[in-house]
Chains A and B, each alone.
Chain A
């Protein structure tokens, strides 16, 4: 009878969730069945019909045993193991007591006190176990809750992480697009820059053409003139020889030899001008080669002067060349450096001519625009100075003159690339320096220092 009640209690608890652990619906059904069986056994045992109630008592043992075995054997019910262990002594004492009572009632009655004491101990055990279990259960539940909280936190972190990853991915995509766009723009700009540089070269070639034509025409005239006069001289020589005048003949011969040297000299002169022109128009950056800096400065000063002279009939100016014979040979790109010279000399003539125009407008006619080109050997290499007595550069724009597209010339007169290209050629192309000194209204001096290679 007591075991029936215990079974009922056990089944009831087995059915209930323990903390967060619940049992499946199947188990609940089984436990409900067990509870009905236990109730029936209790009922039958309670009627106290001899034999039948004894049978019920035995059945209650079986039921209790089934509950104990099932609970201990099934992993799904392991959380209730503690409960079973708590109840086990009471159950055992009761089984023993009731069994003895069934078999030998008088023996039981005689020893009943002992059974009751055993039952009391078993009960105390059960209480102690229950307290202990519930403590453990609470701790377990606490742990479980903590774990849940951690899991929740983890989930939140995870979702944040995913969100961040998506954002990063998005940003990366945007940045990549921007980067590609910028790269495109950059390559377009590079192409535009190359075109501009080419245009600037072509423009300066255009400026040169008149000077080049003049510079080639002059030596060609000499070649023609000296060969003509040589023909005349040789005819005369023939006459002199026929007349037997050897002394005069020798004189004529000397002249002819001189003339042939002159023809050769002027032929070479034309040749070097054509070569220089080709170098100037070459669109890729040329090779460095040993170059006579003095000859290059001389050549481009003349080209600049005659170019300006040919294009503007009213243009008059003086130029001076002070060349240091020690300046010698440097490894440079002649076409590029020539472009620098041309640019600076053209600017110098322009500035000096502007000042002349301003003074003329005021009625002062005595001013002579003058451009001077100096070369000088210095310890680190060669220094080239291009100076003019023109209107100078105002202090506030001195910083800007090497910037691309900066020009003070009227629209259409300058690309604004000349000085910036010159700067690049001297500094990047040749590892040199270029600086400017100017006094507004008085002078401008550009100084280029080229290192020995």
Chain B
């Protein structure tokens, strides 16, 4: 079963990085990645399919326009079934608590520790299978 994951970050190079990091998983067809570079774009992506195929959203917090935390609230309101985890350069307790209270699954800090991210995604995939 293929898992579709959406990654939201205003830094476009994140896409290349993720695609290389999850190269094997993508190649084997067990993982599909899609990307959005702002909160608005992320909502558009989720809105484009009914129901959305995306099962997990990883979002940056600091973005121009809609912040990751606002996006989190909106996703949780409209698509409570989708898991959302935050990835932020600012790992302070204020951000952490706000994210957790709004229903975030995990809170990752930048620089991204891909090992723990892989574990998280691996757990998701095995859960699905």
Interfacial residues, chain A to chain B (CB-CB below 8 A): 214, 217-218, 220-222, 224-226, 228-229, 232-233, 236, 255, 258-259, 262, 266, 305-306, 309-310, 313, 316-319, 368
Q: Which 10 residue pairs of A and B lie closest in terms of their CB atoms, listed nearest first? A: A318-B65, A221-B111, A316-B67, A229-B20, A313-B94, A319-B64, A225-B17, A309-B62, A318-B64, A221-B110
Contact present for A217 and B95 (CB under 8 Å): no
Please pick, from A220, A229, A318, the residue contacting B17 in the complex, using a CB distance under 8 A. Answer: A229
Count A-B pairs with CB separation below 8 Å: 60
What is the CB-to-nearest-CB distance from A13 to chain B, in angstroms, rounded to a whole number? 123
Contact present for A259 and B20 (CB under 8 Å): yes
Contact present for B70 and A218 (CB under 8 Å): no
CA distance A317 to B62 in the complex (A): 10
CA distance A305 to B35 in the complex (A): 23
Q: List 12 A-B contacts (CB under 8 A).
A: A217-B89, A218-B11, A218-B89, A221-B110, A226-B13, A229-B20, A258-B16, A313-B90, A313-B94, A313-B95, A316-B70, A318-B64
Residue of A nearest to B95 (CB): A313
Residue B127 CB within 8 A of the other chain: no
Contact present for A310 and B65 (CB under 8 Å): no
Contact present for A262 and B13 (CB under 8 Å): yes
Chain A residues lying within 8 Å of B20, measured Cβ to Cβ, are 229, 232-233, 255, 259
What is the CB-to-nearest-CB distance from A390 to chain B, in angstroms, rounded to a whole number? 16
Residue B74 CB within 8 A of the other chain: no
CA distance A316 to B114 in the complex (A): 28
What is the CB-to-nearest-CB distance from B87 to chain A, in angstroms, rounded to a whole number? 11
Contact present for B17 and A226 (CB under 8 Å): yes
Residue B66 CB within 8 A of the other chain: yes
Mark contacts of B96-116 with chain A using CB atoms, 8 A cut-off: 1 yes-contact digit, 0 otherwise.
Answer: 001000000000001110100
Residue B21 CB within 8 A of the other chain: yes
Contact present for A217 and B110 (CB under 8 Å): yes
CA distance A220 to B11 in the complex (A): 13
What is the CB-to-nearest-CB distance from A205 to chain B, in angstroms, rounded to a whole number? 20
Chain B residues lying within 8 Å of A226, measured Cβ to Cβ, are 13, 17
Residue B92 CB within 8 A of the other chain: yes
CA distance A368 to B70 in the complex (A): 12
Contact present for B16 and A317 (CB under 8 Å): no
What is the CB-to-nearest-CB distance from B29 to chain A, in angstroms, rounded to a whole number? 16
Take A214-B62, A317-B64 as given contacts and tell me if A262 and B16 are in contact as well, using a CB distance cutoff of 8 Å.
Answer: yes
Residue of B nearest to A370 (CB): B65
